[in-house]
Structure 1
Amino acid sequence: MPHSQYALLRQRRFLPFFLTQSLGAFNDNVYRQAIIGMLFWLGVSSEQKTLYANLAPALFILPYFLFSALAGQIAEKTEKSTLIRITTGMEIGIMSLAAVGFVTQNLVVLLAALFLTGVQSALFGPVKYSILPSVLQPRELTGGNGLVEMGTAIAILCGMILGGSIFAATGDSGPWVAGGMVVTLAVAGHLVSRAIPPAGAGAPDLKINWNPIPESFAALRLAKKQLAVRNAVLGVSWFWFVGTILTSQLPAYAEVNLGGSATLYIFALALFSIGTGVGSMLCEKLSARTVEIGLVPLGAFGMSAFLLDLYLGRPAAATVGGLDVAGFLRQPGSWRTVIDLLGVGMFTGFFVVPLFALIQNRTPKSEMSRVFAGLNIQNSGFIVLAALLGVTLQMESFQLGGVRVSMPGLEIPQLFLALAVANTLVAIWIFTIVPEFLMRFLSWVLVRSLYRLRAWGIDEVPEDGPALVVCNHVSYMDALILAASIPRPVRFVMYYRIFDVPVMRWIFRTAKAIPIAGARENPELMQRAFDRIDAELADAQVVGIFPEGRLTSDGEMAAFKSGVEKILERRQVPVVPMALRGMWASMWSRRDGRLARMRVPRRFRGHVEVVAAPAVDGGTATAPALEAMVRELRGDQP
């Protein structure tokens, strides 16, 4: 039945967790911005401001290096809702200490609490994403991650605005208001977390290694076990690298290049955050509720395009200054900048949400928390590198052993240009190493541009383990349609002449499709195909076949051949019957003759449906029985 990601916000399995993590992100940023607001309210010396500016980021990031590996093991071993309540309980204690720091106006206490906030965030990190596959169906992962990313982006923005305005708005009551607010938010987060339903431990018998150094390397190795997961992890870390450089430059960019006041920086940050939230929310719609990694190349190159235009639109310093938001919007070219910031954020959402969903979908549940711990360690390294590189690239020179070393001395727009080029090169590198990303992008473009696709009952495909998918065969696009509907990778068995269709051949080969021929046509190729089918099933993969053995020439189904029984004789795996509806009107079918006589379909972006039935025991399934099930699913829609 039709489903929207917003329906998750009405369900207990998701809503309490969503609110808990959003309140946590909101409170973290209220706290950090309130410290800055207090320093300016007190009028402290520039030395104290410099001390905070240098220590605060390091104190918050350091726990991720020290405790992420331990946090991953604890999250693997402990029931997840219990662990979330423990970490939100810790937050109450930490924010109580922070309240003391605000009331006594003691920067040392506030920095100590900030370090402990980093510890609590490091402990919460692995369970934040590993809990989603435990409470969501595979087809809900993209929508669930989109909601989480949207909630996080908006919570960070609102937290920064509120935290930064506390002392300006309340004056002498500021310390008490700030202290009371962070404690209240922490208590609210803990109370909400108590409504999170139980979500089992991934590996309850795991023996914890308390030595952080070897365990950190072990977590990083787990994150690199599968090629696609390894590069998804790398992509998420790259997202943090790009985001760190971009957001760290926005305050100076808003003042120097946009000619704005402090409020304009908040506006620029809001545009980026809103764009990220919108992009995250659109992922489910664009992916049709599958884990669609084809959006990742779209996101990567979209980010580069808008970063490039951000440079082209404002290559030099502004000729005016002190503009508020209204004043800025009246300036020539201002709306171009607005669109660029929204665009960078939106395509960032397209980039990162499918990567999180891919990691969750392809990682064993017994390893997932530790994989996300490894991801957090790597993210921290990329954030530190981005901060250092952003500062270094803008330096004109520095002293080294009595020798003055010249540096690029990039202006902020030039830094955006360099980031656009680097983002493009990194994206090309990742997609070259794992062509599955680019393959899925090309198939996504083909399917979404030609059809309006709806899928029904796809959750019948097992989340893990081997399975055989059987479907009627209507057009040359059938494999791509099914691949766009099924959240797991599918190894399709297809007639070798279809496998060799120009352009799509690269897509099929990259998707590890299995070419096959008839026994009379090429018996050796046929035997190799059956051997490879068995090997893929032995490797716990999903294999898709079209048991009719050929495309329909009249829109009607042909009898299923005995090849499906031959497969199940060697390996008895669950069989999921599926049916394609609406493809007979496609320009890729044989409705009007050969493919060479292709024509525009009767209806552009016509409706196509994929319908699945519950899995059948492979030990009892027969070709006639499976054929009857597919005919019933197909109904009277060719």
Structure 2
Amino acid sequence: MADSQFALLAQRRFLPFFLTQLAGAFNDNVFRNALLVLIAYRIAGLDAGAIGLWTNLAAGLFVLPFLLFSASAGQWAERVDKARAIRHLKLAEIAIMLLAGAGFLFASLPLLMLALFGMGTQSALFGPLKYAILPQALQARELVGGNALVESGTFLAILAGTLGGALLMGRAQHGPAWTAVCGVAVAVAGWLASRAIPSLPAVDPDLVPDRNPLRQTLRTLRVLRGQRAVLNSVLGISWFWFFGAIVLAQLPAYARDVLGGNEQVAPLVLALFSIGIAAGSLLCERLSGRRIEIGLVPLGAFGLTVFGIDLYLVRPAATGASGLGALAFLQAPGGLRIALDLVLIGVSGGLYTVPLYALVQQRAPRRRLSQTIAANNILNALFMVAAALLALALFALGLTIPQVLLATAVLNGLVAVYIFSLVPEFLMRFLSWVLINLLYRVRSRGLDALPEEGPALVVANHVSFMDPLVLMGSIKRPVRFVMDHRIYRLPLLKPVFRAAGCIPIAGAREDPALMERAFEAIAQALDAGEVVGIFPEGGLTRDGAIQPFRPGVERILARNPVPVLPVALRGLWASMWSRRDSALGRARLPRRIRARVEVEAGPPMAPGTASAAEQERVVRALRGDDA
């Protein structure tokens, strides 16, 4: 298995695809930005109204294919070999770039608009292939790293293409010719890279396509029904594109009119934002321990709001200066703080989006993943259109650019609070991720053996009050833990346990009604295909040794015969949250800051052989002699 996400760049199952999509993202943005420069500066006879008309028409023509063809693209991606489909699309890109080259050479806006619509169509068809290919080519533990590389590479390619398009077309002599040559050359390079992508067979070759685009669009959106986690993730991704569309659209004018910058400052602020996105994306694997850690999503969401508000506070109105170069802008009062805010907004965006894309790829049904990505692309396009309309409305109300950016940041905070109140799993994972990473250094092994879908029972030894949080932060699927009602009601942890859907239980002698309710809740959760976690010892160990497993777990399996994943916890007995110091009659003090904790799982056990005694034997063997 690769040691880090960068090791994927040396493997054929990833590198050719990565280079192919990198070339495509770069070419898209070279073409689009060169076209904008051509319209604004190089075609004689266009007044301000005509320039605005052609510029907005260009933006609409690029987004329109995502609304028209994403649904069909999702079906197509499931019916064909993805590597072969990508090669066909790259050949089409060469033809489109030849058309665009003719448009640049003859300064023909109709030809260029036709080419732009073609590039939008090619991008719409490529989208479902781009994200559906990753879970087919990569292992589960590589998804976060693979998505991080794709996201960071894409934004850096967008930055390079944006700057490259403006520079090429801005050349005093032969700008259109240089742009035309670059477009065709990059398209050919992308096609050559695509030829090395290994074959990826169709996941549903018998799928019958619907040739009615409107009906198929509605049908594609319905793919998200019944997949709550996937739907929420798709909506979260689309919201980021809403946020990003408003911010990116304002940056050029913000750099000129508010920051007082010259032609150097607009590329600089775009570069800071893009570099931040790339850095945040690459940080995801490091922070998540190569797992899909949706606890990073709230961190990213609130970062977008906090740093967006600070961007306004630094410069709530135009500076009054003009013509500042990049260095002069950075040396001006507040310049470095603005630069840092732009980078951190980008970092927050990377932390926000990468786990969501990985979660969609992990939890969407494999045979419908391409259509799920297509539905995501449709919603992205709709949210981007809504973002443009909102920005126009805010400007019509008299808001300035800093005020529009502030309103977007505040709106993002309100939407984040609303989403996380509806979907507490995101916030719960965030809180457990923060707590566990502050208190421990957790190393896990064998947890990938947990089935990716369907009901399952996780059984573990019980060492400390933090055991459920350690396991929540280590297991990639949501787990509903059964726990002693006294632990469940601990003041600081109760909101986390409630958000996680934990099930409080009491002994038969203490509260028989609560015990029966707990067993009924366990059965309902397993019937619904969820994962339930239980500590069969019935309470925390008082001496560090594993206590006998109680037969209640056999009652659970008698009603719901599901796979059992045995898990051993090591290193928690010496923590301040165990009963070690209580037994010694002294204060609970940590022996080490961020002590090492190990979580090790064995192979899943069949329900017919998973008696309480056998589960205890396996967990003892997994734990060894360490407490």
Q: TM-score, normalised by structure 2?
A: 0.95
1:384 maps to which residue? 385
1:300 maps to which residue? 301
- Give the alignment partner of residue 554 of structure 1, picking from 515, 539, 543: 543
What amino acid sits opposite 1:447 in the alignment? I
Separation in 1, partners of 2:209, 2:490: 52
Pairwise CA distance, 1:452: 1.6
Pairwise CA distance, 1:70: 0.9
Where do residues 201-600 of structure 1 align in structure 2 (5 Å cutoff)? 201-395=202-396, 408-593=397-582, 599-600=588-589
Separation in 1, partners of 2:2, 2:137: 19
- Give the alignment partner of residue 109 of structure 1, picking from 105, 108, 111: 111
Q: Could you give the per-residue CA deviations for residues 516-573 of structure 1, whole angstroms, max 9, x where no partner exists? A: 2333333443344334333333332222222222211111112223333333333333
1:5 maps to which residue? 5
Tell me, yes or no, if the aligned pair for 1:443 and 1:480 is still in contact at 8 Å: yes
Cα 1:631–1:7 shift into 2, 3 Å: farther
Tell me, yes or no, if the aligned pair for 1:37 and 1:166 is still in contact at 8 Å: no
Pairwise CA distance, 1:378: 1.2
Cα 1:596–1:226 shift into 2, 3 Å: farther
- Give the alignment partner of residue 53 of structure 1, picking from 39, 55, 69: 55
Cα 1:597–1:206 shift into 2, 3 Å: farther
2:599 maps to which residue? 610
Moved more, 283-292 or 337-346: 283-292
1:98 maps to which residue? 100
2:611 maps to which residue? 622
Separation in 2, partners of 1:62, 1:523: 61
1:35 maps to which residue? 35
Tell me, yes or no, if the aligned pair for 2:2 and 2:8 is still in contact at 8 Å: no
Give RMSD over aligned pairs.
2.1
Separation in 2, partners of 1:132, 1:496: 42
Moved more, 175-184 or 567-576: 567-576
Pairwise CA distance, 1:259: 1.0
Q: Could you give the per-residue CA deviations for residues 246-270 of structure 1, whole angstroms, max 9, x where no partner exists? A: 1111111101111101220000000
Pairwise CA distance, 1:224: 4.0
Cα 1:12–1:524 shift into 2, 3 Å: farther
SS for the counterpart of 2:264 is: helix
Pairwise CA distance, 1:362: 2.3
Tell me, yes or no, if the aligned pair for 1:589 and 1:595 is still in contact at 8 Å: no
Tell me, yes or no, if the aligned pair for 2:66 and 2:120 is still in contact at 8 Å: yes
Cα 1:409–1:496 shift into 2, 3 Å: same
Runs (5+) with no aligned partner, structure 2: none
Pairwise CA distance, 1:277: 0.9
Separation in 1, partners of 2:45, 2:16: 43
1:183 maps to which residue? 184
Cα 1:80–1:96 shift into 2, 3 Å: same
Runs (5+) with no aligned partner, structure 1: 396-407
Moved more, 594-603 or 96-105: 594-603
Tell me, yes or no, if the aligned pair for 1:288 and 1:453 is still in contact at 8 Å: no
Separation in 2, partners of 1:214, 1:598: 67
2:150 maps to which residue? 148
Separation in 1, partners of 2:469, 2:139: 22
Tell me, yes or no, if the aligned pair for 1:242 and 1:386 is still in contact at 8 Å: yes
Moved more, 109-118 or 210-219: 210-219
What amino acid sits opposite 1:63 in the alignment? P
Pairwise CA distance, 1:177: 2.2
Tell me, yes or no, if the aligned pair for 1:85 and 1:190 is still in contact at 8 Å: yes
Give the paired residue count.
625
Moved more, 197-206 or 114-123: 197-206
SS for the counterpart of 2:599 is: strand
SS for the counterpart of 2:608 is: coil
Moved more, 542-551 or 414-423: 542-551
Pairwise CA distance, 1:92: 1.8
Separation in 2, partners of 1:592, 1:227: 43
1:136 maps to which residue? 138
Cα 1:243–1:140 shift into 2, 3 Å: same
Tell me, yes or no, if the aligned pair for 1:223 and 1:375 is still in contact at 8 Å: no
1:88 maps to which residue? 90
Cα 1:58–1:507 shift into 2, 3 Å: same
Cα 1:539–1:10 shift into 2, 3 Å: farther
Give identity over the alignment, percent.
54
SS for the counterpart of 2:454 is: coil
What amino acid sits opposite 1:34 in the alignment? A
Q: Could you give the per-residue CA deviations for residues 427-458 of structure 1, whole angstroms, max 9, x where no partner exists? A: 11111111222222221221121112222222
- Give the alignment partner of residue 125 of structure 1, picking from 127, 135, 154: 127
Pairwise CA distance, 1:183: 1.4
What amino acid sits opposite 2:116 in the alignment? L
Separation in 2, partners of 1:69, 1:508: 39
Moved more, 71-80 or 116-125: 71-80
Separation in 2, partners of 1:215, 1:2: 39
What amino acid sits opposite 2:408 in the alignment? L
Separation in 2, partners of 1:518, 1:625: 22
Moved more, 43-52 or 253-262: 43-52
SS for the counterpart of 1:585 is: coil
Pairwise CA distance, 1:6: 1.9
Cα 1:424–1:210 shift into 2, 3 Å: same
